[in-house]
Structure 1
Amino acid sequence: MLEALFRPRSVAVVGASQDRTKIGNIIVRNILASGYRGKIYPINPRAEEVEGLRCFPSVTAVGAGAVDLAVIAVPATAVLEVARDCGKAGVKVLVVISAGFRETGKEGLAKEQELVSICREHGMRLLGPNCVGVTDTHAPLNASFAAGFPHQGEIAFISQSGAMLVAILDWSLKENIGFSQFVSMGNKADLNETDLIEAAANDPNTKVILCYLEDIKEGQRFLEVAEQVTLEKPVVVLKSGVSEAGAKAASSHTGALAGSNVAYDTAFRQVGVIRVDTMRELFDLAVVFARQPVPRGKKVAIVTNAGGAGIVAADSVERQGLEMARFDRETLEELRNQLPPASNIFNPVDVLGDARRDRYEAALNQVLGDDNTDGVIVITCPTAVSDPEGVAQTMIELHARFPHKPMLAVLMGGESMAGGLKLLTQAGIPCFTFPELAVGALAGLVRYGSIKTRPPREETPVYPDVRPEEVKRILERVRQERRRSLLSSEGAAVAAAYGIKVAPIQLAQRAAEAVAIAAELGYPVVLKVASPDILHKTDIGGVRVGLKTPDEIRQAFWEIMESAARHFPQANLFGVEVQKMCPRGVELIVGMTRDLQFGPLIAFGLGGVYVNLLKDAAFRLAWGLGSREAESMIRETKAYDLLRGFRGEKPADLKAVVEVVGRVAQLVSDFPDLVEMDINPVFAYPQGAVAVDVKMTIR
């Protein structure tokens, strides 16, 4: 169906105008100027022709099935009527340029919803509303009101911001960067980033997919599509709106750790999407991905005529997680024989400031031929004898001889480097002004190499011994009591129903009941205040540990109740929970916060009272969280060092900890009403793991 968006057989422009300052006229002229080879139908009931083309009063007047794509540029008040007309005429896709919909408020939202309804009724797809339009340089088609037509290339750019898109277009024309597709999504009432990423993935003229996004509409579908697309083509995203405001409202440790941005980072990483922080990075990676091969590894060679620049590049290589290539003995001997005695033959290779083309050629020939080199960065600084054009020509020739190894140029200068810059750009060798930018771009290539070769996603483990009916009964009781937070004993019961071993815990409403429960569980015990309104119990003296006698329990019971009433006079106090005290193990946290776009986000890290101070946490989505991925998450944390056995301690039961993570993932996937969860601490032992304190919040 999206073939009709990018390569339609015919286009109608509704709102085509004879006034050259109007958007409807600009779109007609842009379509004509792009060299579009299909039929163009201007639609204007008050004009006979626009830009030499015959006008029609409506799309239906053109004929049933005659129009594939209709670009609508009329006032918002007229859009719905036009959409109905297009539906009757059998139009396949609408591009609604007009503003005045969801972005204007409640009435605009209702109008947008009706527009979507009309499109669905007639089987039409919709781009927009409130968008700039769509461009495909290979069709060719420019169905937008942007000023200019992109150079033809292999980069698809999908933008949620129309202003960002037209600014990038203007910049790209100056920088001579080519595109395959240029798409403005506008309000994303129907077609969204996932649809357009999928379309770009199927486009034979697209090598790399760039996105500027402010949000993602269909999180689960995005994950499924992106996971497949990134195996074939790199997807690079600049995601704006990274405020941590969401963390302020979070009631759990996990929510506070995650904030509103971690879910995007986690989702992108799990499906192989590369996230960048700046527009510069976005297009640096785009150019490198479009023009250079993916390296087989991360060993980098640097050839430079300036020692300082080489050191800066080497430092950046280490910071980016790459490695400096270590050359074979034969390579070092050839470099020693062919370069001046003052040259550094080790990596970075310094060919000295008086180097001309021949010296660069000698060094690069040896470096590229070495099996320990996966990619090369060539630095040229302006000196009295430097030859940027000659060096550029050498690089072009050697890149043709070693096409499987990426080569990036750093031309550290201005006007004196213009000739070399032009030659390299025309030959598809990316050029940078400073070494750090080149290293960052090469690191992106290396990262994508690991994405392409990642193992297939595991099936999420399913534990057959879970008891969901038990969980349903507990959550229903909490709802009936109009509570959002479960008591610790209720949370423990939910965890136990999903096969997570928990320290035994029971609720006592009277001191005598607490004494009886302690006798049943066995000393020592812990007492905790039981209130859905008091989430962080230790802060108000609501916890007593190591109680060994009935008298200690009675005293602790009344002290806890009095302290809770003093600190939280309005709190709903259920009593005190009595829990069997566990021996200390490695203190961990396993938590969950539910992201609006991507669903349950699982956290793992060091637990205990310092969890928010230490912030030792790794995250994964419950979606696709197999045992291998769960172990990978654990290995990212400092907690893993303790689990392996730190300073003579016995190693903990890693398999048991992985299972706790997996069971939590199954629980929160099975029960969408669970919105936040903390098991903190989980004590990990040489054999097994036990959940001690379980907090849960429901919708």
Structure 2
Amino acid sequence: MDSLFAPTSVAVVGASSVSGKIGNTIVANILQAGFKGEVFPVNLHGGSIHGLAVVKSIAELNRSVDLAVIAVPRNMVLNCFKELIEVGVRSVIVISAGFKEVDHDGWLLESELAELARKHEVNLLGPNCLGLISSAARLNASFATGNPLPGKIGFFSQSGALCVAVLDWAMGAGVGFSKFISLGNKAVLDEAAMLEYLGNDPETKVILGYVENIDDGRVFMEHAARVSMKKPIIMMKAGTTPAGARAASSHTGAVAGSDKACAAAFRQSGVIRVDRLDDLFNLAKAFSSQELPLGPNLGIVTNAGGPGILAADACGESGMRMPTFSPDIIGDLQRMLPGYASLYNPVDLLGTADAESYGRAVRIVGHDPGVNSLLVIVAPSAGLDLAAVAGAIAETAGEIPKPVFCCLMGRRNSEKAREIFASAGIPVYDFPKQAVRAMDCMYRYAAWKGRPPRTYIIPERDVDGARDVVESALRSGRAELVEFQARDIVTAYGLPSPESDLARSGDEAAAIAGQLGYPVVLKIASPEISHKSDVDGVRVGLNSAEEVRAAFWDITARTQRLRPDVYIAGCLVQQMVSPGSREVIVGFRRDRQFGPLLMFGLGGVHVEILKDISFRLAPLSVEDAGDMVREIRSYMLLKGVRGGEPVDFDAITDVLIRMSCLAEDFPEIYEAEFNPVLVSAEEALVADARMTVVDPGPGGATVRGLVAEPE
């Protein structure tokens, strides 16, 4: 995409001689940025714009151009695009708005633009976008106000207005960019394409992104997983609440997917997610200026006790640790500091500290082999020369092969000190928690990069047998498979379950119970009843034929009275599982953008009340499955407390992986749930199952047309 980010020629279609119009601003920005290539303003009326001769039509260009920027009314965009293709354009930025974000006609027009771009292999950015800025090429092909400083941060955003705000903030804060990209409606080039390009861009050290939706989640994950192994990706995803999702849809014409699926996608592909814009750039400052720490151990040097305590609290809330210094380091500190100063972590230099004491303390603590990174806190005090302190810290930090961060509290009289830190590549934060948060993210990212490769297992299963069940359900028009119907799929996928059989009368139920052995469980069997508890449709601990017969008639009569509209097939008679078993839930729902989203948590009613659930996207690795189990707050209940036996975690992992495989094998299964899965020290048994099927083919109810929002 060099023709987009490093063109040798640019045509501005819709250039204007009227100051303040978008077509005028774009030409002015290109020239003011110092672009060295050829610039061709295109306008029907001719004349000159900013000293450049105007070309009256695209055809009069009479040559191919690397990049064209279109800023004309919507109804003219398509013809301009076709004419640009005729003259051999390589990349096009469509600034113009009024496409899928507005109405159906706009959606059709945008679709035609995208089809033409793909057919003729033209890079299309937008429409409805701000444009882009490429620092190395000295190109500002946007209608933003001002040019950012060059830097190592690559930024892309789906919101043009947010681009303007971020650009203004960055210029005020002295933050520089390698690339600055407004994606707009993402007709062709989207966040995945930007990740791929910025991942290979030598000018970019860290990638930032703001998105409101991700159209093709699988492609995004593939790109993100590959790029995040080379450089950090920090992203903010809007539309995380139902209100935000509706706003995102009206703003961009996009349909927001499940936020839980997006969170799982980011986690599994190594993307660092933030919820606030200040976090986005606080992390960008850290990643773009410092190397990754080799461990979580943080040394703190301060001249005030309160901020040191705040930093210690922030460490306690994160994965960072505050190690005890070695005896040699403590001895060195003791010799240089007053007798009443704190020699331990954090080191408190007291309010009388000066530039020399800061420099010496940073040098001593930074050379402790047990310290992986260093946070220096500077609180203003009477007579303290902040610029001199900054110079001493910057000079000393250059001798330490570890990340060094600074917290410079207070804004008045600190600008010179901040400039010194910026020149030395030391990120500066206003408060200790911001700095610790950034350091923690860097450590966790380093740990993620260094983790061993994932292990994927494809278990043996009877796909044809399961397909017979699914296709039979689709032919009969059934949308839901409840337990007595879904158990054939459970068996086909090698999932152990308690022995059971369907009984159509009380006598048949008693006979089956006698074969299975007492005690047994009875459950109502109806294709129209998903949650048996709604009709009090379960009896447990039945120990005789008389109890089984009575339970059968009680369950079926109650169900018929409460739900006279449903078909009752009978009752499922099931072997009773050990009373020491614990209940968990394993399930998935198909997200429209990312595919099957798997869930795990405590089963039964706990999942609805406690909502203690972990999520991952299929396909699931062995490591992902293990993380899902350990992630829930109730993990210790499964591990065993007060002498209780731990459950068989390998068996749970096996159930999760087989569920993941089922989700991948059958796009017809929109959602599935095993609840409960009864786990003990010896096994994990699927005691109940339900599935929803849809026709994903032409003419059927597509999975993408359904709302996927697991609660």
Against the structure 1 CA distance between its residues 352 and 563, is the aligned structure 2 distance closer, same or farther, given a 3 Å change threshold? Answer: same
Match of 1:621 among 613, 617, 620: 617
Taking the aligned partners of 1:370 and 1:107, their CA distance within structure 2 comes to 66
Does residue 688 of structure 1 match 2:683?
A: yes
Taking the aligned partners of 2:5 and 2:93, their CA distance within structure 1 comes to 11
Match of 2:585 among 571, 583, 589: 589
* Matching residue of 1:171: 169
* Matching residue of 1:251: none
Taking the aligned partners of 1:78 and 1:129, their CA distance within structure 2 comes to 13
Q: Superposed, which structure 2 residues align to 1:227-242 within 5 Å? A: 227-242=225-240
* Matching residue of 1:483: 478
Q: Secondary structure at the match of 2:599?
A: strand
Match of 1:428 among 421, 425, 430: 425
**Alpha-carbon deviation of 1:245?**
7.9
Q: Superposed, which structure 2 residues align to 1:245-284 within 5 Å? A: 260-284=258-282
Amino acid paired to 1:61:
E
Amino acid paired to 1:50:
I
Amino acid paired to 1:205:
E
**Alpha-carbon deviation of 1:660?**
1.3
Q: Secondary structure at the match of 2:398?
A: helix
**Alpha-carbon deviation of 1:364?**
1.0
CA offset digits 1:113-161 (Å, max 9, x no partner): 1111221232212111100101101111111111111111110110000
Match of 1:563 among 545, 558, 564: 558
Does residue 367 of structure 1 match 2:390?
A: no
Q: Secondary structure at the match of 1:104?
A: coil
Match of 2:439 among 442, 445, 469: 442
**Alpha-carbon deviation of 1:185?**
0.5
**Alpha-carbon deviation of 1:628?**
2.5
Q: Secondary structure at the match of 2:590?
A: strand
TM-score w.r.t. structure 2 length?
0.93
Amino acid paired to 1:202:
N
Q: Secondary structure at the match of 2:481?
A: coil
Q: Secondary structure at the match of 2:546?
A: helix
* Matching residue of 2:59: 60
Query: Conserved in 1, the CA contact under 8 Å of 2:482 and 2:530?
Result: no
Taking the aligned partners of 1:86 and 1:574, their CA distance within structure 2 comes to 67
Q: Secondary structure at the match of 2:88?
A: coil
Amino acid paired to 1:17:
S
Q: Secondary structure at the match of 2:185?
A: coil
**Alpha-carbon deviation of 1:343?**
0.3
Taking the aligned partners of 1:594 and 1:421, their CA distance within structure 2 comes to 49
Taking the aligned partners of 1:442 and 1:246, their CA distance within structure 2 comes to 30
Taking the aligned partners of 1:182 and 1:638, their CA distance within structure 2 comes to 40
CA offset digits 1:195-216 (Å, max 9, x no partner): 0111111111001000011111
Amino acid paired to 1:38:
G
Query: Conserved in 2, the CA contact under 8 Å of 1:246 and 1:260?
Result: no
CA offset digits 1:332-388 (Å, max 9, x no partner): 011111100010000010000111111112211110010111111111112113221
Q: Superposed, which structure 2 residues align to 1:156-167 within 5 Å? A: 156-167=154-165
Amino acid paired to 1:149:
N
Query: Conserved in 2, the CA contact under 8 Å of 1:606 and 1:638?
Result: no
Larger mean CA deviation between 382-391 and 335-344 belongs to: 382-391
CA offset digits 1:254-273 (Å, max 9, x no partner): xxxxx932212211111110
Match of 1:452 among 437, 449, 452: 449
* Matching residue of 1:250: none
Unaligned 5+ residue runs, structure 2?
246-256, 695-711
**Alpha-carbon deviation of 1:246?**
12
**Alpha-carbon deviation of 1:572?**
4.1
CA offset digits 1:482-540 (Å, max 9, x no partner): 22210202222111101111123333344344334334433332222223432221133
Taking the aligned partners of 2:70 and 2:507, their CA distance within structure 1 comes to 76
Does residue 419 of structure 1 match 2:434?
A: no
Taking the aligned partners of 2:648 and 2:359, their CA distance within structure 1 comes to 56
Against the structure 1 CA distance between its residues 424 and 494, is the aligned structure 2 distance closer, same or farther, given a 3 Å change threshold? Answer: same
Larger mean CA deviation between 613-622 and 217-226 belongs to: 613-622
Taking the aligned partners of 2:606 and 2:553, their CA distance within structure 1 comes to 27
Taking the aligned partners of 2:406 and 2:494, their CA distance within structure 1 comes to 57
Match of 1:336 among 312, 334, 351: 334
Match of 2:82 among 81, 84, 91: 84
Taking the aligned partners of 2:26 and 2:243, their CA distance within structure 1 comes to 40
Query: Conserved in 1, the CA contact under 8 Å of 2:234 and 2:272?
Result: yes
Taking the aligned partners of 1:509 and 1:58, their CA distance within structure 2 comes to 81
* Matching residue of 2:390: 392
* Matching residue of 1:497: 492
Against the structure 1 CA distance between its residues 148 and 43, is the aligned structure 2 distance closer, same or farther, given a 3 Å change threshold? Answer: same
* Matching residue of 1:148: 146
**Alpha-carbon deviation of 1:591?**
1.4
**Alpha-carbon deviation of 1:306?**
0.6
* Matching residue of 2:572: 577
**Alpha-carbon deviation of 1:3?**
1.2
TM-score w.r.t. structure 1 length?
0.94
Does residue 650 of structure 1 match 2:645?
A: yes
Q: Secondary structure at the match of 2:518?
A: coil
Taking the aligned partners of 1:587 and 1:516, their CA distance within structure 2 comes to 28
**Alpha-carbon deviation of 1:640?**
4.1
| Percentage of matched positions with identical amino acids | 43
Taking the aligned partners of 2:57 and 2:243, their CA distance within structure 1 comes to 48
Query: Conserved in 1, the CA contact under 8 Å of 2:454 and 2:623?
Result: no
Query: Conserved in 2, the CA contact under 8 Å of 1:244 and 1:261?
Result: no
Amino acid paired to 2:654:
E
State the Cα RMSD in Å.
Answer: 1.9
Query: Conserved in 2, the CA contact under 8 Å of 1:300 and 1:375?
Result: yes
Query: Conserved in 2, the CA contact under 8 Å of 1:304 and 1:348?
Result: yes
Amino acid paired to 1:190:
V
Does residue 515 of structure 1 match 2:510?
A: yes
Query: Conserved in 2, the CA contact under 8 Å of 1:150 and 1:179?
Result: yes
**Alpha-carbon deviation of 1:417?**
2.5
**Alpha-carbon deviation of 1:589?**
1.6
Amino acid paired to 2:596:
P
Q: Secondary structure at the match of 1:138?
A: coil
Amino acid paired to 2:517:
G
Larger mean CA deviation between 176-185 and 645-654 belongs to: 645-654
CA offset digits 1:237-293 (Å, max 9, x no partner): 01111116899xxxxxxxxxxx93221221111111000110000000001111111
**Alpha-carbon deviation of 1:642?**
4.0
Query: Conserved in 2, the CA contact under 8 Å of 1:230 and 1:451?
Result: no
Q: Superposed, which structure 2 residues align to 1:282-293 within 5 Å? A: 282-293=280-291
Amino acid paired to 1:5:
L
Does residue 307 of structure 1 match 2:305?
A: yes
Does residue 378 of structure 1 match 2:376?
A: yes
**Alpha-carbon deviation of 1:626?**
1.8
Taking the aligned partners of 2:571 and 2:244, their CA distance within structure 1 comes to 31
**Alpha-carbon deviation of 1:26?**
1.0
Query: Conserved in 2, the CA contact under 8 Å of 1:492 and 1:505?
Result: no
* Matching residue of 2:208: 210
Match of 1:469 among 464, 470, 483: 464
Taking the aligned partners of 2:623 and 2:520, their CA distance within structure 1 comes to 36
Match of 2:603 among 586, 607, 620: 607
- Matched positions, count: 682
Q: Secondary structure at the match of 1:324?
A: coil
Taking the aligned partners of 1:432 and 1:638, their CA distance within structure 2 comes to 33
Unaligned 5+ residue runs, structure 1?
248-258
Q: Secondary structure at the match of 1:108?
A: helix
